[in-house]
Structure 1
Amino acid sequence: MISVYIGLGSNLALPEKQIQAACSSLAALPSTALIMCSSLYRSQPMGPQDQPDYVNAVALIETKLSADSLLQHTQLIESQQGRTRNANRWGPRTLDLDMLLYGKQQIDKEYLQVPHCGMKQREFVLYPLFEIAPDLILPCGEILSELLLTCPLNGLRKMAPLK
C-alpha cells in the first residue's frame, strides 16, 4: 500500500457537502482505504476574486492503485460531482482533487506532477496537511513544519472537522 495525500477544494454547489461526498468516494475506490481527512478550511480564491471562497481539506489514503490509475479515478469523481474543465484555470468549481504526494515518489509527466506543483506555497494545502501529518517530510527532504514558517495564512480559516 502507498500513502497518498489528496487535496480537496470546492466553492460551488454546497462546498462542504462536495468535500464530504468526495471523501466518501475516495474511501470507495478499489484497493484503497481512506485513513483520515483534515478539518475543513475556508480560503480565498487563488485566481479571480469575483467568485466564492473555497472550502478545502486534505485526505490521506492508502492504495494499491498506480498514480496514473488513481488520477483517472479522481478525475472521474470530479466529473461525477459536476466538475467541468474549462479554460479558466483558477475559476470556480464544484470539486478539485489534487494528488499532492504519492508515497515518496517524484512524478513528472505532462499530465501529472507529484509532489503537486505549488503546494509548498499554498496555505490551503499546507495547513490542512500539517493537521493530519505534522511530522511529514516531503520527497525533496523539506520538512512540512518548516514550510509553514514562511507560509502566511492569507485569510485561511479552520471551519470544522469533516463529518
Structure 2
Amino acid sequence: MITAYISIGSNIEREYHLKAGLDAVKTLASKWRMSRIFEAEPVGFDGDNFFNAVIEIQTSLSLSELQFQLKEIERQLGRPAHAVKNQSRTIDLDLLLYGDAVSDALPSLPRSDIYRFAFVLWPLSELNPDLVIPQETQTLAQLWQNFSQQQILWPVE
C-alpha cells in the first residue's frame, strides 16, 4: 500500500462537488481520512470562493493509474478534460504526494502547490504535521509555520 495525498477543491456547487469528489476518491482507497474543509478566495482570477481540503489515502493503485482515476473523477463531475487554470471549476483533484515518489514528469511530485498555496499547505500540515516530504528537511508543520504567501482562507464550521 502507498500513502497518497490529494488536494480537493470546488467553487461551483461546492458542497455537492466536494462530497461527490470525496466519495469517488474513497473508492480508490483501502483507508482514508480528510483534513478540515477550508474556504478560500480564488487565486489568480475573480470568482466565487472555494472549498478546499486534503485527503490522505492508502491505495494499491500505481501512480499512473491513480492519476488517471483522479482525472476521470474530475471529468465525471463536469470538469472539462482540457480545462485551463485560473477559472471556476466543479472539482479539482491534484495529487500532492505519492509515497516517497519524486518526479519532474507529470504528475510532478511532490507537487509545487504545497509550497505555493495556503489552501494546500494548511490542510496538509493539519492532516500529518510530522511528515517530512521527499527532498525536504522540515516537517509539514514547520513548513506551514514558515509559510509567507498571502492568501485569505479560513476553516469552514
> TM-score, with normalisation over the residues of structure 1?
0.89
Alignment partner, residue 124 of structure 1: 119
Among 136, 146, 152, the residue aligned to 1:150: 146
Distance 1:34 1:59 in 2: 11
Alignment partner, residue 7 of structure 1: 7
Residue identity in the other structure for 1:11: N
Q: By percentage of residues, which structure has more strand? A: 1
Distance 2:117 2:69 in 1: 24
Among 26, 43, 46, the residue aligned to 1:46: 43
Deviates more, 1:57-66 or 1:148-157: 148-157
Structure 1 residue 86: deviation in Å?
Answer: 4.7
> Which runs of structure 2 are paired with 1:99-114 in the superposition (5 Å)?
99-109=95-105, 111-114=106-109
Residue identity in the other structure for 1:131: E
* Residues 22, 116 of structure 1: alpha-carbon distance in 2 compared, 3 angstrom cutoff: same
Root mean square deviation of aligned Cα = 1.5
Structure 1 residue 130: deviation in Å?
Answer: 1.4
How many residue pairs get matched?
155
SS of the counterpart of 1:75? helix
Q: Deviations over 1:114-161 (max 9, x none)?
A: 11123212100111111211111111123211111232562110003x
**Which stretches in structure 1 are left out of the alignment for 5+ residues?**
none
**Which stretches in structure 2 are left out of the alignment for 5+ residues?**
none
Alignment partner, residue 24 of structure 1: 23
> TM-score, with normalisation over the residues of structure 2?
0.92
